[in-house]
Homo-oligomer: A and B are copies of this chain.
């Protein structure tokens, strides 16, 4: 059976002040009608018969509210994606020894949902057909330095499915521009599909401490609280994907973006989400006069008015307001750090 496994363990402050420690970004709607998490679950159902959400114990209730018919798997502490996906595989195999899992980040945006459904259907099929881990390689639209990339290798026997020659870390701009121009590189969007047993076997081979802890949890689920901390905090990319064999990829071209910072919101919303001056406005009562390229968000019942400024992020959410240049949107971290340093955790 095909299981979507949604990774929803975000720490919560990359989209501060909309996202908070108690309400990470996957629970935000960012101007749409459904949360990122609910949208991810809805899209997954186009190709998967079951949805599992792996999240922090503190966010399990929120996740259940958002996606009532999903299975919620709560991690006692966060140990990065290798542990989270290992835990998911263990749980799936207990119910379904032939489980095929499709890992999906909770915080992605997808414009063409029909194309996305076709693509993940093909990826599930590839995982069912062969002993492979099938990633989705996103057709790149810009020389993005914030993502990992993958190099496309030789064709396989399956039409449209190629080997992955190698995974590459976040490149510098010059390298990213080469990748984009070459046509041989795709973005690593963090989505992959394989038999749950295949993933667990890889973890045992490549991450033996993680494998041992997962074995304990398989024997006694209540052991998780005790053994979870013994697992190394490592990503599935570093821990497994870059080292294992038979990793393949399907090109995905469906208007994808991650929602990693406020700077990503304009891409996520697309041209239709912007006014004639390139302002991206989330909120009924936000106004920009004499300025363009801003990202503005505010709660219902609040107005934000910008006059004569451009390329700024201005976000009001609840009791907090952030102002940062759009090209420094990653520095939301500095805002969060400054608040923490002053003991103003109530705003985090």
Contacts and interface: CB of A to CB of B under 8 A. Distances in A.
Interface string A304-348: 111111001010100111111100100110110011001010010
Given A287-B335, A287-B342, A304-B320, 7 more contacts: A285-B344, A289-B335, A307-B322, A307-B331, A307-B332, A307-B335, A314-B323
Interface string A39-70: 00000000000000000000000000000000
Interface residues of A, number: 35
A226 B325 CA distance: 54
Interface stretch (A30-38, A89-97, A175-183, A295-303): A295-303
A306 B324 contact: yes
A290 interface: yes
A285 B346 CA distance: 11
A304 B338 CA distance: 11
A303 B347 contact: yes
A290 B334 contact: yes
A303 B316 contact: no
A347 B307 contact: no
Contacts of A285: 344, 347
Nearest to A342: B287
Contact of A321 (B290, B301, B302, B339): B302
A252 to B, nearest CB: 34
Number of copies: 2
Contact of A309 (B298, B303, B308, B324): B324
B324 A308 contact: yes
Contacts of A331: 289-290, 307-308
B302 A319 contact: yes
A300 to B, nearest CB: 10
A337 to B, nearest CB: 8
Nearest to A322: B305
B323 A304 contact: yes
Contacts of A314: 321, 323
B305 A335 contact: yes
A87 to B, nearest CB: 36
A298 B321 contact: yes
